[in-house]
Amino acid sequence: MRQYPAACGLGIALAAISGKWKATILWELHSRPVRFGELRRRIPGISEKVLSEQLRAMETDGLIRRDVYDEVPPRVEYAVTPAGASLNATVHALAEWGLEHVSDIRAMATAGGR
């Protein structure tokens, strides 16, 4: 993994949401637990491979927990931990910043509409 420098707190937070998908995944879990397939459908463009990898990393990092149910078809749910929920408050602030400054920011990669 990329080593993040900087202020000790900021480095940790940046590592937590590093990469293209983690912040989005974390936000998709903010209101309730979600299953793998539903996550995949709600996040356009993400591959099963990358989704699986990111979920594993976030579970390892303590941001989310993975609940396996003894059912057929298999049912696995992902939910935020307290730490993940707390970080989601900041992710929400980021999104609000983005909405407020969408017209101020030039040459910025556009997000998919949602």
Partner DNA sequence: ACAAGTACTGACTTAATTGTAAGCACCTAC
Partner DNA sequence: GTAGGTGCTTACAATTAAGTCAGTACTTGT
Binding site for DNA (CB under 7 A): 1-2, 18-21, 35-38, 45-50, 52-56, 66, 72-76
- Per the CB < 8 A criterion, the answer to whether 30 and 88 are in contact is yes
Is 71 a residue that touches its own copies (CB under 8 A)? Answer: no
Q: Which residues pair with 68 in a beta bridge?
A: 76
Which of 41, 47, 74, 101 touches its own copies by CB under 8 A?
101
- Per the CB < 8 A criterion, the answer to whether 45 and 110 are in contact is no
Is 75 a residue that touches its own copies (CB under 8 A)? Answer: no
Residues of this chain that interact with its own copies (CB under 8 A) are 1-17, 20, 23-24, 27, 43-46, 60-63, 83, 86-87, 89-91, 93-102, 104-114
